[in-house]
Amino acid sequence: MLQINSETAHKMFIQLMERFDKIEKMLERQNKMKECLDGDTLLDNYDLSKLLGVTHRTLARYRQKKLIRYYMIDGRTYYKASEINDFLKMKGAL
């Protein structure tokens, strides 16, 4: 049976709490990013590909052809939900 002394248990507890703090900060940052840019909701590639039923490559083609506007934040691609709505209306999908 594994036995852990109180000092080791305390160190493990501290490490665990530090990881929880990092995760919490990361989630807070992601939530802030989702609600930024004029209060509009941001969608990432995963969200948008699922919403539109297309692949990530199709999204890249849309960006390349300048059919949809996108924003780069910390090396990740985001789209404003309102602009995607406009894109869908333009395509006649809504």
Query: Percentage of the chain surpassing pLDDT 90?
Result: 55
Per-residue pLDDT, averaged over 55-79, amounts to 94
Measuring CA to CA, which residue among 82, 87, 78 is closest to residue 32? 78
Q: Is the per-residue pLDDT at 29 higher than 90? A: no
Per-residue pLDDT, averaged over 31-43, amounts to 71
Q: Is the per-residue pLDDT at 32 higher than 80? A: no
Higher-pLDDT residue of 1 and 27 is 27
DSSP 22-65: HHHHHHHHHHHHHT-STTPPEEEHHHHHHHHT--HHHHHHHHHT
Q: Is the per-residue pLDDT at 2 higher than 70? A: yes
Indicate the pTM of the whole model: 0.60
Per-residue pLDDT, averaged over 22-48, amounts to 78
